[in-house]
Every structure is written in structure tokens, then in C-alpha cells.
Amino acid sequence: MNPPDTSALRTLACPYCGPRELEEFTFRKTLPPPSSATPYARIYERVDSLTQSLEHWQHLRGCRAWLLVNRNPSSGAVVSVRLLSAAES
Amino acid sequence: MSAAFEPRFSALALVRARMQGAAAWRPLWAKRPLREAYDVVIVGGGGHGLATAYYLAREHRVGRIAVLEKSRIGYGNVGRNTTIVRSNYLLPENHYFYEDSVRRWEGLSRELNFNVMYSPRGVVDLAASDDDMPVLARRGNAMRLAGIDAELMDLHALKRFVPELDLGHRRRFPITGALVQRRGGTVRHDAVVWGYARAASALGVDIIEDCEVTGLEAAGESATALQTSRGRVQAGRIVFATAGHTGMIGSMLGVPLPIETHLLQAMVSEPIKPLLNTVLVYVTPGHGEIYISQSDRGGLVMGGRLDAFPSRTQEGQWYRLEDVVQAGLALLPQMAGVRILRHWAGLNDMTMDGSPIMDRIRYDNVFLNAGWCYGGFKAIPASGAACARFVASGTAPDLVRGFALSRFATGHILDEPGFGPFPVRL
């Protein structure tokens, strides 16, 4: 039996490997709000937005690259996937 | 005690209704219009909101109470969970609180004059290795020191307690024993909504459906009113109990919260004859993660791990579902031919230590009841009672003092599984 193809989020496009099944990737953490200044805020506070979520993922069962993913958590749509090292420099 | 409830259910009422026909049955709760002002406005008509309203009215005699619900009561997580209740926690802040909840579940049908079908069938936490056994023993000992029932079972005792469990040599995943809480079990989730709504409504609480809160007005350090889709309403005190949308409340109040929203999937099989009379929990990273029980209708109710990334799509990931089914088949191979009847993914208010938040937020008279993660259902009676006491007295009851929002900044986190500032095991 094939799963119904309804979810917008089934794959992520790894910059090295191209589109791969979501199961290959591991979600690491959501980035804290840009306003977070204290260590407490950077560790614990989260942006829980309806429309945008900036997250660290890792292609753990693939090339192991760390990724910066911009997603819409309400629709499941992936806005962008970049290498974390490229995004930080 | 509950003479105010109308109609009061009893054997006599049943006979009388049989004579009078269907007209004898009236709606369980009254639909009243939104008034201009209330002493307490509770935002969120789920289990926690309704229970808070009930205890405010019954135990604290607060006069004018409203529960505002964006859609319909019982349409959120309280109507879509796996109905398990238990108090088998390691940390004192958690096990005393959840034990208060279990004690309230035990008497809730009588208190509400509404059968919530509390079924103490035993919650069986399975161990997957010899190393798991001392971990379970430690948790069980902590519970027993707090006066909570806990029983460590070896394979021999487990075989007697859950004969349907596959403990054969060819089983897929190892099982070495279990920690059992016999007073844990299940409660009919929808009846909890109906029971609390009926009891609260009979005490004069206004339950307002289709009423979305869009803004908050404040003067100085106090909130004064809420703007809603049904107009403005003045509020002496405000409680937010809006699991799944707590981040929006934080944005509205300008307070970033240590909460993100994840999906948890659950499913129910077609009804089958009685197979399982306990709640089996097999949470073993690397093997499988499942909890499974059989409802009174006969359906096998199953859930597993979170989808493990923030989402509000309410569409679960297929591979996570597969994990649950595979673990289920390893425990109970006899359910291989059973078909899944329905399946869903609900929004979970995940905090960064896995424990809830009950505290004032931003204003003197605004309270947050949130972050119950995937364990909100079992907490309903204790949470409602504690939140009501907090709101009525202005002081956090001892039972929930550990759930203060400030614990993250001061380092007093309640990290039950001990894996750091993430809502899920990575």
C-alpha cells in the first residue's frame, strides 16, 4: 500500500546530494529569536512562528553536512536549504 | 454535593427518562452569549481550560467566569490523545503533581456525576536491556518513597501479568522486565470534556465557542481586556491554556517562550475482541517506541515518538508511523492482520526540558498554563485545580511551584529524561 502523498514535506534538497528522503536527515534545533542576548535566551528561547522556522538540520544518514533550513511550519513548505558553513561565513 | 447539576444522572433518572422518552434528555451544557465583563477569562476550551473554570467556580467561588474557545470544545488535543493516565515520574516536582492528578481521576466520575470511565488497568513500562532495569528500579523507588504504587517485574512476573506479550526467544526486540504502575490506566477522553463542561456550565461558567482572541489591552502592569472575534471583553484575570498555539500567545504578550510546536502521531485499529488489558509502553531508542492500549470499544490505540521537528501541518511523517507499527508487531505479533481505522497528528506544546509551565506571564493578572508536551491529558484534573488555586489566591500552589517560567533562566530545569535543552531526543 502506498502512503497518500499529501504532506508537503517529504524530502529535503541537500546542497551536496540533491533531494533526499526526509528520513535521512536529523533535525537539530530551532534558532533562538534574533533579539536573544543572554546565554539563557540563546539556549532556551524559541521562535514559535506560524509562518517561518529557521532550523539546523544534519544530513546524518547521508553526507553528514550541517544545514540551515528555512521552512514554513504551517504548510510544510521548504523555503531554502543552505550549508551551515556557507550561511555563517 | 453536586445538587446544582441539572439533570443529575442516576439510576432513577435513567428510568424516568425511559418513561418520558427522548425529550427528557437536555443538552449537557448551556450556550450563553458573551458578556461584557468577567472576573476570570480563560482562553482555550480544552481539558485544562474547562477544568480550571470548573475548580474556580466550585472550590474558589469565583462569580463570573468565561471560557473562550476558537473552534469547539473538545476539538483539540483533549479529544485526540491516547487517553493514558499515570504518575510514574522520577522527579519529585513531577511525580507529586501527577499523583495528585491520578487521585483526582480516581474520584472524578463521582465528583462530576459523569462517568469518565477511569480504568486502572496498569501501565507497564518495558525494559529492553539489563541496563534498563536499574533505571526503572530507581524510578520505581523514587515513586514508592513518594507513596505512589510501583512494582518492578522480572520476565517471569511480566509473563503472568501480560500473557499476550510475545516473550519468545525469536522476538525481534529484547525485553528484560518492566516497571508497573497498577493504578495507571486509561480515561475516556471525550467524557472528560463533557463532564467538566457540564459541571462548569451548571455552576454558571459561560462557555463561548467560535470566539478567537485577537489582542490584549493593558494599563500599566495589569491586563484589562481581551479583543476577540466576538467583541471586546473586560477581564479581571486572564488564563491562557492554548496548547499548540502558545507561541502566538507569547508573541502577543511580547515574551519569547522556551516552547516549540511538534507533531505527535497516534492511531486506532478496527475494533477487535479483548486482547490487551494493560497499557504497554516500550520506549527504547534504537529498537522501537510505542505505547499501546485497547479501548473499551475494542480498538487498539497506539502512539509513538514525536515527528522530531517543529511542524503545524497535522500531517505526520510516514516513517515514524512505520516505527510504531513495527514495534507493535514485535510486542504483539497476533495483531498482524488488524487494520488501522484512523490516524492523526496533533500539535504538542514542547518545552525545552519536557516539563510544563504554570506561571504569571508579563502582567500581574495574566497566567500561562502551557507546555504540557505530550502528557497534557493525564494532567487535566491536577492542572485545573492548581491553576484555579493559583488564579484565585495569587500564589502558586506548592504542587506547581517547580513549573515556574523562571526555572530556565535560573537553571532549575525539570529535565526528566536528562537530555538537555531540546524538546526531543536527538
The pLDDT, as a whole number, for residue B6 is 57
Residue B202 domain-assigned?
Answer: no
Higher pLDDT, B130 or B424: B130
- Which CA distances in Å does B51 have to A8, A36, B48, B54, B61? 36, 35, 5, 5, 14
In the stretch 41-70 of chain A, residues with CB closer than 8 A to chain B read 41, 43-50, 53, 55, 57
Higher pLDDT, B2 or A38: A38
Q: Averaged over B50-75, what is the pLDDT?
A: 97
Chain B: nearest CA to A77, how far in angstroms? 10
Amino acid at residue number B317: Q
- Which CA distances in Å does B255 have to A32, A47, B24? 13, 10, 50
Residue B84's nearest CA partner among B42, B125, B36, B51 is: B125
Question: CB-based contacts of B332: which residues, under 8 Å, 6+ apart?
Answer: B164, B165, B166, B275, B276, B280, B292
Q: Averaged over B183-202, what is the pLDDT?
A: 97
| Closest CB to A33 among B256, B319, B426 | B256
Q: In this structure, are strands B259-269 and B340-351 parallel, antiparallel, or unpaired?
A: antiparallel
A22 to B319: CB separation less than 8 angstroms, yes or no: yes
The pLDDT, as a whole number, for residue B2 is 41
Question: CB-based contacts of A23: which residues, under 8 Å, 6+ apart?
Answer: A61, B317, B319
Cell numbers 541537500 correspond to what residue?
Answer: A14
DSSP character at residue A84:
H
- Claim: this prediction has a pTM higher than 0.90: yes
Torsion of CA B202, B231, B239, B348, to 10 degrees: 100
First to last CA, chain B: 50
Q: Residues B342-363: pLDDT tens digits?
A: 999 999 999 999 999 999 999 9
Q: CA quadruple B77, B83, B86, B89: dihedral positive or negative?
A: negative
B317 to A55: CB separation less than 8 angstroms, yes or no: no
The model's confidence at residue B146, banded by pLDDT at 50, 70 and 90, is very high
The pLDDT, as a whole number, for residue B269 is 97
Higher pLDDT, A34 or B151: B151
Q: Averaged over B132-148, what is the pLDDT?
A: 97
B256 to A55: CB separation less than 8 angstroms, yes or no: no
Q: Is pLDDT at B23 greater than 80 in this prediction? A: no
Residue B78 domain-assigned?
Answer: no
Q: CA-to-CA distance for B146 and B380, rounded, in angstroms?
A: 21
The model's confidence at residue A89, banded by pLDDT at 50, 70 and 90, is low
Q: Residues B200-209: pLDDT tens digits?
A: 999 999 999 9
Residue B40 domain-assigned?
Answer: no
A47 to B247: CB separation less than 8 angstroms, yes or no: yes
B310 to A29: CB separation less than 8 angstroms, yes or no: no
The 3-class SS string of A29-64 reads EECCCCCCCCHHHHHHCECCCCCCEEEEEECCCCCC
Q: Is pLDDT at B298 greater than 50 in this prediction? A: yes
The CATH number of the domain holding residue B158 is 3.30.9.10
Residue B77 domain-assigned?
Answer: no
Chain B: nearest CA to A85, how far in angstroms? 21
Residue B71 phi, psi dihedral angles, 5° rounding? -115, -105
| Closest CB to A45 among B248, B257, B315 | B257
B352 CB neighbours in chain A (<8 A) are: 43-44, 46
Q: CA-to-CA distance for B261 and A3, rounded, in angstroms?
A: 24
Q: Residues B80-97: pLDDT tens digits?
A: 999 999 999 999 999 999
Q: Looking at this predicted complex, what is its ipTM?
A: 0.90
**Chain B interface, Cβ < 8 Å to A:** 246-248, 250-251, 256-261, 308-313, 315-319, 352, 408-409, 421-422, 424, 426
Residue B311 domain-assigned?
Answer: yes
The pLDDT, as a whole number, for residue A8 is 61
The 3-class SS string of chain B reads CCCCCCCCCCHHHHHHHHHHCHHHCCCCCCCCCCCCEEEEEEECCCHHHHHHHHHHHHHCCCCCEEEECCCCCCCCHHHCCCCEECCCCCCHHHHHHHHHHHHHHHHHHHHHCCCCCCECCCEEEEECCCCHHHHHHHHHHHHHHCCCCCEEECHHHHHHHCCCCCCCCCCCCCCCEEEEECCCEECCHHHHHHHHHHHHHHCCCEEECCCCEEEEEEECCEEEEEEECCEEEEEEEEEECCCCCHHHHHHHHCCCECEEEEEEEEEEECCCCCCCCCEEEEEECCCEEEEEEECCCCCEEEEEEEEEEECCCCCCCHHHHHHHHHHHHHHCHHHCCCCEEEEEEEEEEEECCCCCEEEECCCCCEEEEECCECCHHHHHHHHHHHHHHHHHHCCCCHHHHHHCCCHHHHCCCCCCCCCCCCCCCC
Mutation target to probe the B interface, by most B beta carbons within 10 A, among A36, A43, A48, A68 is A48
Amino acid at residue number B167: L
Higher pLDDT, A2 or B244: B244
The pLDDT, as a whole number, for residue A35 is 81
Chain B: nearest CA to A89, how far in angstroms? 25
Lowest mean pLDDT, pick from B263-277, B361-375, B410-424? B410-424
Range of the structural domain that residue B330 is part of: 122-183+261-350
Amino acid at residue number B170: R
Q: Is pLDDT at B377 greater than 60 in this prediction? A: yes
Q: Averaged over A74-81, what is the pLDDT?
A: 93
The pLDDT, as a whole number, for residue B1 is 37
Residue B4 domain-assigned?
Answer: no
The model's confidence at residue B4, banded by pLDDT at 50, 70 and 90, is very low
The pLDDT, as a whole number, for residue B3 is 40
The model's confidence at residue A4, banded by pLDDT at 50, 70 and 90, is very low
The model's confidence at residue A5, banded by pLDDT at 50, 70 and 90, is very low
Domain count, chain B: 1
Residue B273 domain-assigned?
Answer: yes
The pLDDT, as a whole number, for residue B60 is 97
Q: Please, are residues B179 and B88 in contact by the beta-carbon 8 Å criterion? A: yes
Q: CA-to-CA distance for B317 and B94, rounded, in angstroms?
A: 30
Mutation target to probe the A interface, by most A beta carbons within 10 A, among B312, B322, B326, B353 is B312
Residue B163 domain-assigned?
Answer: yes
Q: CA-to-CA distance for B175 and B198, rounded, in angstroms?
A: 44
In the stretch 67-86 of chain A, residues with CB closer than 8 A to chain B read 73-76
Residue B71's nearest CA partner among B260, B190, B207 is: B207
C-alpha cell at B320: 515514524
Q: Residues B299-309: pLDDT tens digits?
A: 999 999 999 89
Lowest mean pLDDT, pick from A8-12, A60-64, B102-106, B113-117? A8-12
In the stretch 3-42 of chain A, residues with CB closer than 8 A to chain B read 3, 6-9, 21-23, 26-30, 32-33, 35-36, 38, 40-41
Cis peptide before B7 (omega within 30 of 0): yes
The pLDDT, as a whole number, for residue B155 is 95
Chain-wide mean pLDDT for chain B? 94
The helix/strand/coil state of A85 is: helix
A27 to B319: CB separation less than 8 angstroms, yes or no: no
Q: Averaged over B18-36, what is the pLDDT?
A: 88
Chain B: nearest CA to A50, how far in angstroms? 8
Q: Residues A27-77: pLDDT tens digits?
A: 998 988 888 888 888 899 988 889 999 999 999 999 999 999 999 999 999
Q: CA quadruple B22, B24, B30, B33: dihedral positive or negative?
A: positive
Sheet containing strand A26-30, strands side by side:
A26-30, A53-58, A66-71, A78-83
A67 CB neighbours in chain B (<8 A) are: none
Q: Is pLDDT at A6 greater than 60 in this prediction? A: no
Q: Is pLDDT at B111 greater than 90 in this prediction? A: yes
